[in-house]
């Protein structure tokens, strides 16, 4: 395990600037999640650390050693790819043993065997060790892929949306398992995803990437409650944050220069009132909670509501702001 730093890393593919001037530190034993939409440069950042791409400029250091000139093999990283990338002609056991059978390592067979079985148990695939890797379900394949990264004890684990191709239930289970394994092993892990729930639940710190730039870095709580700008605010929160012009709703105290107000559920106060400033346009019943679609003049807002809230379609309500987020004309946060 080791600390990883990226200093001023840039990478372009032809005309496209995939990563520009990213500075990032992953501390020893830390679980960092890079969150961003498709094309934000998340995968490229991982591949730059692994050595599968060469940066145009900048430095990558692993445990204080500059590794930019080194091949992937000598960087001591483990990579979990989005597409499983198991060796299809090998069994689960052979796939897990593959990284240990490197001639450079010369591990005795008994040690390899012990390690493979230990990891197989950890990722709960030990009952299928002799199966061909192509005869597994998606979840099993991804567990093998994660296990193949875990058999070694590299400086850092790099994971590229490892759960994105799984169904929701399995994703939830593996999310927990992954976090459990990481804290058990105390490993350094850089994880890339576009799923805010994965980021919020697993990360020690989240880095928000947009158009190749690292926009903000902080704990999930910081990122959620103190977003640096509109883009970051829009990445987190379910339902999506409501962006409304200044002056539309009463309440709060907007600083000078405020152009846009960001209001999540916790920033909105609802009270029934015949002569209120807003109208309930639609209610989505999700069971444990309701999504209220609210109309304020031309604007539409979505917020969560208690399912027992006695309110119906067409009802008028009084809508007030409570400590919302303020943004200037450039989308930067004002406090």
- Residues forming the site for another protein (CB under 8 A): 50, 52, 71-74, 77-79, 81, 83, 85, 87-89, 98-99, 102-105, 132, 148, 282, 284
Long-range pairs, 239-242, Cβ under 8 A, ≥24? 239/265, 239/291, 239/302, 239/303, 239/304, 240/302, 241/325, 242/268, 242/301, 242/302, 242/303
The residue among 235, 243, 298, 231 whose CA lies nearest residue 268 is: 243
Quote the least distance from Cβ 81 to another protein, whole Å: 5
Cβ distance to another protein smaller for residue 167 or 284: 284
Cβ proximity to another protein, 81 vs 327, nearer residue: 81
CB 230 within 8 A of CB 327: yes
Q: State the minimum distance, in angstroms, from the CB of residue 303 to another protein.
A: 17
Q: Single out the residue of 92, 210, 209 nearest to residue 147, CA to CA.
A: 92
Helices 109-122/138-150 angle, 10° precision: 130
Residue bearing tokens 């444990």 = 288
Nearer Cβ to another protein, position 51 or 227? 51
Q: Supply the minimum distance, in Å, between the C-beta of residue 52 and another protein.
A: 5
CB of 146 to another protein, least distance (A): 12
> What are the residues whose beta carbons fall under 8 Å from the beta carbon of 225, sequence distance 6 or more?
none
CB closer to another protein, 284 vs 306: 284
Judging by beta carbons within 10 Å of its beta carbon (0-12, 13-18, 19+), is residue 252 exposed, middle or buried?
middle
Q: Whole-number minimum distance, CB 159 to another protein, in Å?
A: 12
Closer to another protein at the Cβ: 234 or 305? 305
CA–CA distances in Å: residue 326 to residues 187, 206, 214: 38, 22, 21
Q: How far is the CB of 72 from another protein (least distance, A)?
A: 5
Identify the burial level of 320 via C-beta atoms within 10 angstroms of its C-beta, where 0-12 means exposed, 13-18 middle and 19 or more buried.
middle
Least distance from another protein to the Cβ atom of residue 94, Å: 9
By C-beta, is 83 or 273 nearer to another protein?
Answer: 83
Element (H, E) at 120: helix 109-122
**Which lies closer to another protein via its Cβ, residue 180 or residue 295?**
295
- Residue 112, helix vs strand vs coil: helix
**Parallel, antiparallel or unpaired: strands 57-62 and 4-13:** antiparallel
Residue 103 Cβ vs another protein, minimum distance, rounded to whole Å = 7
* Residue 102 or 323 with smaller CB distance to another protein: 102
């Amino acid at each position: 395990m080791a600390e990883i730093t990226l200093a001023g890393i840039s990478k372009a593919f032809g005309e496209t600037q995939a990563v520009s001037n990213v500075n990032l530190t992953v501390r020893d034993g830390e679980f960092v999640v890079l969150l961003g939409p498709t094309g934000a440069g998340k995968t490229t950042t991982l591949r730059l650390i692994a050595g599968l791409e060469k940066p145009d400029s900048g430095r990558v250091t692993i445990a204080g050693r500059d590794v930019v000139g080194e091949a992937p093999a000598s960087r001591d990283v483990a990579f979990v790819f989005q597409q499983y990338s198991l060796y299809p002609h090998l069994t689960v056991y052979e796939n897990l043993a593959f990284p240990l059978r490197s001639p450079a390592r010369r591990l005795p067979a008994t040690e390899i065997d012990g390690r493979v079985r230990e990891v197989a148990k950890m990722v709960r695939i030990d009952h299928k060790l002799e199966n061909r890797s192509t005869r597994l379900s998606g979840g099993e394949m991804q567990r093998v892929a994660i296990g193949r990264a875990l058999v070694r004890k590299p400086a850092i684990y790099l994971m590229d949306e490892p759960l994105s191709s799984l169904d929701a239930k399995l994703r939830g289970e593996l999310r927990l398992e992954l976090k459990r394994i990481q804290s058990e092993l105390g490993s350094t892990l850089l994880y890339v995803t576009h799923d805010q729930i994965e980021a919020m639940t697993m990360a020690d710190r989240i880095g928000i990437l947009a158009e190749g730039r690292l926009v903000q870095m902080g704990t999930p709580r910081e990122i959620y409650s103190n977003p640096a700008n509109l883009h970051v605010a829009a990445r987190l929160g379910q339902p999506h944050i409501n962006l409304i012009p200044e002056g539309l709703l009463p309440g709060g105290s907007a600083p000078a220069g405020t152009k846009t107000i960001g209001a999540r559920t916790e920033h909105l106060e609802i009270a029934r009132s015949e002569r209120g400033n807003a109208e309930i346009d639609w209610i989505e019943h999700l069971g444990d909670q309701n999504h209220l679609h609210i109309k304020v003049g031309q604007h539409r807002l979505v917020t969560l509501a208690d399912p027992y809230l006695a309110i119906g379609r067409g009802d008028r309500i009084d809508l007030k702001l409570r400590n919302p987020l303020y943004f200037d004309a450039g989308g930067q946060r004002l406090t």
